[in-house]
Amino acid sequence: MARPRSLRPLTKKPNISSQVEAMVRALGRPEPGLLEAALEGVDAKRAMDRALLCAADMLVEQAFAICLEAHAVWQRCSTAQRAHLRGFSVPLLGLAAEQALCLERTYSEYARLEGERLNAGSRLRDLFDRNILLSTQARMVLEKVNGEAAAVREEIALSEAPGNSFALAQALHRVAHIGYALLRSASPAVRGRAKLYGLDEAFLDGLASAGAELVNLEEKAGDASSVQAKKAQLERAQVATFILIRQISEAFEAAGQIDPKIGPLPPVAPKLDPEPSRAGGHGQKPRTAPYREPSGTMVSPTATKVVSPALPLRVVEPSIHLSETRLSKTVRT
């Protein structure tokens, strides 16, 4: 079975995270409740569908770029230009930057937890087969050291290697316990055979450690609750970050239409409300003001355009003699 693809490590420009952290410190921490106020009334499902189209690490990069650029443009803007930036404020910028940093941390934690779970599952599969062989070898050594002692032989027979990790770990611990008892045996013959066949505390300690490692890996590989909880937290951070940076981008876009000197911010993909143009063109808005056609005529987009009827076009077909009668047709277009 193919192994799950590991998460792509978070990549970002050098020091960009520290730049955003410095900006947040300069702006001040947002007031409590502002995030809930900004998200209230937003269609959560619709926003999540769009926010999750962009990978978390890519959204972090977009959010950092937009926050830093918005801060730089805001500082360059005059008082009159800032008055055009409705829908934007310094607290909104600080809130978006803080959420972007939260998204970065949450993604890193989720990637770590998911990576640990996947690695535990992979290592568990590798160690299971090895420990089956180790358990078989240990029983063989114990049988040689034990000799003809019926009680111990019966206990060894009960230590057959099972088919799951927890049972295998118990079998390894049981074999190690029997081995320790043989090392403490009062019989000189048993102690002598232990030396002959390599039964010592280091070997038995290894069996116990192998069993403990199996239990630890099984718990990590099988317990996905912490990963799922972190994933839900990650998705909430993605949605919040996406909505906030989209609101900032929309505010600068609207202000730029009023004053083109207010530069646009880096694009946010995907857009929150992508709608097809109603103008029939490729992204062109319908005209709402009178405009001049190439002929020089002023045209109002709300006025009904009158088209004069075209002149009749006379088309004469080649002569066809039908009872010596010439047939002609006139077609009006």
Residue 67 has pLDDT above 50, yes or no: yes
* Cβ neighbours of 112 (radius 10 Å): 13
Helix axes of 165-183 and 150-157: crossing angle, nearest 10 degrees: 160
Query: Which pLDDT score is estimated for 72?
Result: 92
* Residue 318 confidence (pLDDT) above 60: no
Asked if residue 92 has pLDDT above 70, the reply is yes
Rounded distance between C-alpha atoms, residue 88 and residue 100, angstroms: 17
Structure tokens at 251: 């505010």
- Stretch 196-203: mean pLDDT, rounded? 92
Residue 299 confidence class, pLDDT cut points 50, 70, 90: very low
Q: How far apart are CA 102 and CA 237, in angstroms?
A: 7
pLDDT at 199 over 50: yes
63 pLDDT band, cuts 50/70/90, is very high
In the chain, where the domains are located: 16-119+226-258, 124-224
Angle at CA 97, nearest 5°, toward 235 and 259? 115
Q: What is the pLDDT of residues 43-61, one digit of tens each?
A: 777 777 777 778 888 999 9
Contact present, 206 and 175 (Cβ < 8 Å): no
Q: Is 149 left (phi over 0), alpha (psi -120 to 50) or beta?
A: beta
Per-residue pLDDT for 151 more than 50? yes
Taking residues 54-70, report their average pLDDT. Answer: 91
CA distance 132 to 160: 10
Give the pLDDT of residue 14: 53
| Residue among 132, 124, 131, 108 nearest 221 (CA) | 124
CA atoms of 70 and 141, how far apart (whole Å): 72
pLDDT at 131 over 50: yes
Lowest mean pLDDT among 13-22, 113-122, 209-218: 13-22
Q: Which of 111-125, 154-168, 257-271 has the highest mean pLDDT?
A: 111-125
**Tens of pLDDT, residues 222-243:** 777 888 899 899 989 998 999 9
What tens digit of pLDDT does each residue of 246-266 get?
Answer: 999 999 999 989 988 887 787
Mean pLDDT lowest for which of 55-69, 150-164, 188-202, 244-258? 150-164
